[in-house]
Amino acid sequence: MAKKEKSSPEVYKSWCKRCGICVAFCPVEALAQDELGAVYVKDPDKCTGCQLCELRCPDFAIQVRTSRRKEEKATRPEAREGNPGEGAANQKAKKEQKT
């Protein structure tokens, strides 16, 4: 049986206009609003990673992170040292052009 990926929504409070759309679309009620309307993660363990909140947010103020997304980000070429997309042959050719 496949291992369930851990999902955790993150709310960017400075971007959020407190419309509540993300809360309304969350099928498992992992999100809630406080008395001032600010969105917060009420129960992160309930999050299924469906990303409905992220897709519906008009302000891009919420992001659902999964364990797989974190791994992909760490292994992307631009996350590693050096110039992304340049193989050893291209780097060698550039050095030869300089001399």
Looking at residue 31, what is its pLDDT? Answer: 96
Three-state DSSP at 96 gives: helix
The domains located in the chain, with CATH, are 7-79 (3.30.70.20)
Backbone angles phi, psi at 40, to 5 degrees: -145, 160
Q: Which pLDDT score, from 0 to 100, does residue 33 have?
A: 96
pLDDT in the model for residue 86 = 47
Per-residue pLDDT tens listing for the chain (99 residues) = 455 678 889 999 999 999 999 999 999 999 999 999 999 999 999 999 999 999 999 999 999 998 765 555 555 454 444 444 445 555 555 556 655
Model-level pTM greater than 0.75? Answer: no
